[in-house]
Amino acid sequence: MKNKKRILKIVSLLLTCAVVLSAALIIRDRKKDFNSAEKSTVAMNTIMTQKIYSEVPGSQITDIITIVNVLEKMISFKDIDSQLSILNREGTLDNGAIADVLRVCTEISEKSGGVFDVTVGELSELWGIGTENENIPEAEEISSLLSECGYEKISINGSTVTFDGDFSVDLGAVGKGMACDYIMNYLMSSEGVNGGVVSVGGSIVVYGQRNKAGDKWRVAVRHPRNEGELLGVISLSEGFVSTSGDYERYFEENGKRYHHILDAESGYPCESGLISVTVVCDSGILSDALSTACFILGREKGEKLLSEYGAAGIFVDKDMNITTVGDIDFEY
């Protein structure tokens, strides 16, 4: 039954995404200087939407889908044959891409005081939020798994990653941002590409130009409580945008919402007073990791973390108060 509900939810999201993006694209396409093509599909267990402006835009769309699918096979927590699963089983792996992303993750873990931590994979599985196995675990189970976790137990030497502990890494908090980095690199190296905007779930990359006038891209930010509505619009020339919120995957029990963003210190869904955080910066992985870390930290500590990276952000609290941080052009 839950699988059926999940399928219906994906279809609903796809339709909503199409409506929201079509509205946004009407704004962007007032000056139709470049050829373009667009497509929405399912990738990384979420909706991926592309609009590419180029001489032959259809070819890039196909390539990007392939790039994201290949990346997913490498970093999937669920795929037993993925490179990440091999690392989790054997405790060691020689893979430059995974080593690089874990360098970023462990740095964010340290700067966030450990509340952001990708070593809580088994704890996420225990909660099962967004799956047919979602439940509230026993406190003893949570405590037992937390005692094994810890980003400081990860060692990285060149392209080799080694674990010193009985835990599993889950890159779900940064995988979509990582995909956006790969997409940006592809677009930058592709001939005949004028520009493009690609969303992979809550992470978005914008590259190049959408018209000869050089107008900024306009990226819609979802309203965290009213499905199908926009919170506002970010204008930017190029870069990455990632949003983390308590509405993405959650269940409710006895009037309490249990969402998928876990505080690695407590082992429970974080209660920072925030319901949505959007981060804008020049790295997909960073934007994804920072949006999650800031969501857990709360507004004040989150602001300080963003300032360390020269990133900008939008914080929305449970009373729908909106705070913008850093150099960001946001209309709401």
| Model pLDDT, residue 26 | 31
- The pLDDT value given to residue 7: 43
Contact at 8 Å (CB) between 243 and 234? Answer: no
pLDDT of res. 55: 84
Percent of the chain with pLDDT over 90: 87
By CB atoms closer than 10 A (0-12, 13-18, 19+), residue 175 is buried
Mean pLDDT of 125-147: 96
Model confidence at 193: pLDDT above 90: yes
Q: Which residue is listed with tokens 């690089």?
A: 100
Residue whose tokens read 């592709």 = 190
DSSP label of 262: B
* Whole-number average pLDDT of the chain: 91
pLDDT tens digits along 40-70 = 999 999 999 999 999 887 899 999 999 999 9
Average pLDDT over residues 268-287: 98
DSSP string, 160-226: EEEE-SS-B---TTTHHHHHHHHHHHHHHHSTTEEEEEEEETTEEEEEE-SSTT-PPEEEEEE-SSS
Q: Are 188 and 167 in contact (CB under 8 A)?
A: no
Whether pTM exceeds 0.95? no
- 203: burial class by Cβ within 10 Å (0-12, 13-18, 19+)? buried
What pLDDT, on a 0 to 100 scale, did the predictor assign at position 257?
96
| pLDDT of residue 24 exceeding 80 | no
> Distance between CA 130 and CA 278 in Å, rounded?
21
To the nearest 10 degrees (0 to 180), the angle between helices 96-111 and 57-75 is 70
- Could you write out the DSSP letters of every residue in 44-97? TTEEEEEEEEESSHHHHHHHHHHHHHHHHHHH-SS-TTSHHHHHHHHSEEE-HH
Work out the average pLDDT over 151-156. Answer: 97
Per-residue confidence (pLDDT) for residue 184, from 0 to 100: 98
**How confident is the model at residue 32, as a pLDDT?**
61
Res. 10 pLDDT band, cuts 50 70 90: very low
CB-CB contact of 313 with 302 (8 Å)? yes
- Which amino acid is residue 128, in one-letter code? G
Bigger pLDDT: 27 vs 241 = 241
Q: Which of residues 200 and 11 earns the better pLDDT score?
A: 200
